[in-house]
Structure 1
Amino acid sequence: MTQEPLVDYSRPPQERPGTHLVLMLHGYGSQEKDLMGLVPALPEDGFTYASMRAPDPMPGGGPGYSWYDLSGAPGGDIVPAVEGAKTATRAVTAWIEENGAEYADVTLLGFSQGMSIATSVARHKPDLVSALVGLSGFAIDSTDPFLDDAALAARSPRLPFFYGRDQEDPVITGDMVAYTLDWARDHTDVTKVLYAGMGHGVSNQEMKHVSEFLTYVLR
């Protein structure tokens, strides 16, 4: 990201100060307005929802945007994309540091590839966010020192993390899920919920649980 990212808000500027900010990061090939469709299912009173557009247009002029090159279809080998993910993570981190002070706290909600950036921000700057929500996504399998997992694990109390997925998700591969689960258990206070039949998406039941999670951890 070399320019200020495009962000869609649920509230006008004068209503945002002092609220809980939930910054939403969309998936591969999507755009900022997609996750705004979840807002009616989430708690309203005292919350501001902001959805950020990823920096990179899709290869070949396809619709939507991506946070970094996946070197293939979603669910493919993400190892070559670590540097790109770090660039996107730095930009999201900088945006939060510049804009987050007016809010009571900041939570990150990431779907699919957006979850990899949400978790990377928490790993890069463990004290920057108050909670994480990950939907049908993954954490990046990397030991790069940019991701300060030791500091994240040392947080007290540990970072609350809601992780929802379908066990039969056709996009996020088994090895990616296995790494994400191990990472979450070792470094966060994770609440893991499976939603049969949801596929690579979200469900009404999952949104109810996310709403309860946000209300509980940010009350």
Structure 2
Amino acid sequence: MTFPAIDSTAVRWSVPRESVATVLAERPLLIMMHGYGSNEGDLFSLGQYLPEQFVIASLRAPLTAGPGNAWFAIDYDAENDTLRRDINEVTASTHRLIEWIDELDAEVGGLGDVALLGFSQGGVMLTQLFRHQPERFIAGVFFASFAVDDTTEGAAERDQALADVKPPLFWGRDPQDPVITPNLIDFTRRWLPEHFDVEAKLYAHVGHSLSLEEIEDAAAFLRRNVTG
């Protein structure tokens, strides 16, 4: 099947849509990517806690999933206690995100600094964007998420290119997160530090969610690494 494109009309912006091109000529962009079964409104309210210099674009994932949307299909494998997904579908979704960013870049006449923020499944997309274009994004915020083992053609070369850049990444999670299974965390704990300059913090009793402390820590990270 043809993988759906990002719906540009569904993007939630922190500035009026008609002024996006003008404002992005002078301010950094923060792209938000929600989790499985959610939508573009889920993370948008975090903007009130983040550096005010950002122009925020909160995207809607292209696939329908339950009451919301998804970046790629997943199902729970009880025998192996893990979340299964098709890496080819993850890659197709990544390409759609890049196409959307390319279109915005052309509209603006050249984007400046671009940071990424992803929660859960949206965090997977964050790592994939960095893998495919490691020098395009200045920093990332990775909430309650995991990295995937990319076995597609050219993956080793892409990962090496990312490791050469090692962009800054904030990783926040609850060690008892009931959704992200232990084997996914084990892989992520090994893979992330090899490819990013990681600032990792644990938050107890948060579950598969966010706390105000975690959000404030992420905001401080973005100020240090993006907005100054």
The two structures have a TM-score, normalised by structure 2, of: 0.87
Instruction: Tell whether 2:26 aligns with 1:18.
Output: yes
Is the contact made by 2:143 and 2:172 (CA closer than 8 Å) also made in structure 1? yes
Partner of 1:107, secondary structure, is: strand
* Shift in CA distance, 204/146, structure 1 to aligned 2, threshold 3 Å: farther
Amino acid at match of 2:121: Q
Q: Cα RMSD over matched residues?
A: 1.7
Instruction: Tell whether 2:83 aligns with 1:81.
Output: no
User: Which structure 1 segments of 5+ residues have no match?
Assistant: none
Is the contact made by 1:26 and 1:35 (CA closer than 8 Å) also made in structure 2? yes
Runs of 4+ in 1 over 6 A off after TM superposition: none
Corresponding residue number in structure 1 for 2:135: 127
1:95, distance to aligned residue in structure 2 (A): 1.5
Name which of 138, 142, 159 aligns with 2:167. Answer: 159
* Shift in CA distance, 142/87, structure 1 to aligned 2, threshold 3 Å: same
1:127, distance to aligned residue in structure 2 (A): 1.3
The superposition leaves residues 80-136 of structure 1 with CA deviations (integer Å, 9 ceiling, x where unpaired) of: 421111111111112222214544211110000000011011011111211111000
* Shift in CA distance, 4/177, structure 1 to aligned 2, threshold 3 Å: closer
Is the contact made by 1:124 and 1:146 (CA closer than 8 Å) also made in structure 2? no
How many residue pairs were aligned? Answer: 211
Instruction: Tell whether 2:68 aligns with 1:64.
Output: yes
CA distance in 2, matches of 1:30, 1:2: 17
User: Which structure 2 segments of 5+ residues have no match?
Assistant: none
The superposition leaves residues 174-207 of structure 1 with CA deviations (integer Å, 9 ceiling, x where unpaired) of: 1101111111111110000000111101110001
Corresponding residue number in structure 2 for 1:143: 151
CA distance in 2, matches of 1:181, 1:216: 23
Name which of 8, 15, 36 aligns with 2:12. Answer: 8
The two structures have a TM-score, normalised by structure 1, of: 0.90
CA distance in 2, matches of 1:27, 1:146: 27
Is the contact made by 2:4 and 2:63 (CA closer than 8 Å) also made in structure 1? no
* Shift in CA distance, 145/189, structure 1 to aligned 2, threshold 3 Å: farther
